[in-house]
Chain A
Amino acid sequence: MEGSSSARKGNLTGSARKLSDNAADWHNLTLKWERLNDEGSTVATKIVNLRLAKEPPKESDLMLEDGVSLDSGEKSRDNSSQELEEECYKLQDIVNKMDHIVSKMEKMVSSENGICELETFQYGVKGRPAPLFQTWSTPQFAEVSSKLCDSYKQELALKHTILQELAHTANADLSMVYLSAWLYQPYIDDKGKLLLESLLMETGHRPL
């Protein structure tokens, strides 16, 4: 794939070059997103475990009479709070990286809209007479990008909510729902994957 795409890229100029590069970026960004998602899922699971471990009323601590053991209990709770905080920072960091990915996606969408406008300016409302690649008209690229971008944006908003709430819920079921929503990404569906694959095929990144 690498060889053929770079050979092709050599010949591409202008809008075609830009669209082809964007398609490759889509591919790379979604892979990066998946990696971050997996990392985040591990961290989120840790957060939930730490949070739920903290929750049950510490009967053993309450029953202890001597101050020394109580202190050590306090200390371990402090430790776990600290660990919880650290994990939350890690998750925050991952969500920040995801923010960054989505902002790159948004830039691609706006650049493709720009290409469409340019074509309207060059060729009128009907657009260019022959497609740049196989069959897609230029607005189709912009449409696919914006659909993909929308689903990632929605998913990102979900991640932000999960990040905010995860360490503050003591409800085991709700925590579990947060975790599965994080891992299974309800807004990134098969349709999106299909769109991305078609995009890669159209631009010649995937062999026909």
Chain B
Amino acid sequence: MSNPALLSLHQLLKQSFRVVEQNHKVWKSVLLECSPLVSSLGNLGEQLRALKNVQVPQTPLGRFPDLQERLHYKLSIAVDTVMGKLGEKLDAFEAVRDAVSKQVSAAFQFYERNTGTLDIACCVNRSAVTPSLADMLEWLQDTDRYYRLQFLKRKNFLQTLKSDDLTLLETAPKRWESLSSPNAEEGISDMLFQVSFFMDSE
């Protein structure tokens, strides 16, 4: 086991898992911060809908000048503010995606450059502490893909939102919820458990 390429790759993999571990936490906390924002979008959507449904001049509010327009303006501003905040969260998601992607591709590049010394036997060899190279690389690739896909979905969600499309706003919380894929996310936690001994090993 004194293959220098293997040792270096192990170091790279450890580093990658550490990056994934950190970023996984960041991702989860950002996602948590998003839910009140998305639900307030839904709420604003309902308020805008109600405002549209009500014939204000025929209500006790009718004597107030421009009430409907003014309220509509205020609500639209509120929608824009929330969307702006969500846009900031999207940047945080992007940072996670980039950090993970950078690490994973570094590990893969190193492997591809050293395929000469890392033969099949070496790649599938594993011990109680160290999973096989093949497994670890595959897990990292899955993780990378997960964040890429998730980021795209979230980005697409935000880009299609419009403050004048009430249906989109009203259904925002549900649609946002449906974007997560709990299985894939659990896969990352599982992976981190599986490599925990490996990460602690010298």
Contact = CB atoms under 8 A, between A and B. Distances in A.
Nearest to A190: B77
A29 to B, nearest CB: 21
A181 B53 contact: no
A115 B86 CA distance: 49
A176 B46 contact: yes
Nearest to A184: B74
B50 interface: yes
A186 B69 CA distance: 9
A98 to B, nearest CB: 16
Contact of B54 (A158, A164, A174, A189): A174
Contact of B75 (A173, A184, A187): A184
Contacts of A69: none
A165 B51 contact: no
A180 B54 contact: no
Interface in B41-96: 46-47, 49-51, 53-54, 56, 59-61, 63-64, 66-67, 70-71, 73-75, 78
Interface residues of A, number: 21
B46 to A, nearest CB: 7
Contacts of B54: 171, 173-174, 177
Contacts of B59: 165, 174, 177
Nearest to B50: A176
Given A186-B67, A186-B71, A186-B74, A180 B61 contact: no
Q: Chain B's interface: helix, strand, loop or mixed, by majority?
A: helix
Contacts of B71: 177, 180-181, 184, 186
Interface residues of B, number: 21
A154 B64 contact: yes
A177 B51 contact: yes
B78 A161 contact: no
Contacts of A184: 71, 74-75, 78
Given A181-B71, A184-B71, A184-B75, A176 B60 contact: no
B70 A173 contact: no
B50 A172 contact: yes
Interface in A143-172: 154, 157-158, 161, 164-165, 171-172
B74 A173 contact: no
B56 A177 contact: yes
Contacts of B63: 161
A185 interface: yes
Interface of B: 46-47, 49-51, 53-54, 56, 59-61, 63-64, 66-67, 70-71, 73-75, 78
Interface of A: 154, 157-158, 161, 164-165, 171-174, 176-181, 184-187, 189
Given A161-B63, A180-B75, A186-B64, 17 more contacts: A157-B64, A158-B61, A161-B60, A161-B61, A164-B60, A173-B49, A176-B46, A177-B51, A177-B54, A177-B56, A177-B61, A180-B51, A184-B78, A185-B74, A186-B71, A186-B74, A189-B70
25 contacts: A158-B61, A161-B60, A161-B63, A165-B59, A172-B50, A173-B54, A174-B50, A174-B59, A176-B46, A176-B47, A176-B50, A176-B51, A177-B47, A177-B56, A177-B61, A177-B71, A178-B61, A179-B47, A180-B71, A181-B61, A184-B71, A186-B64, A186-B71, A187-B70, A189-B70
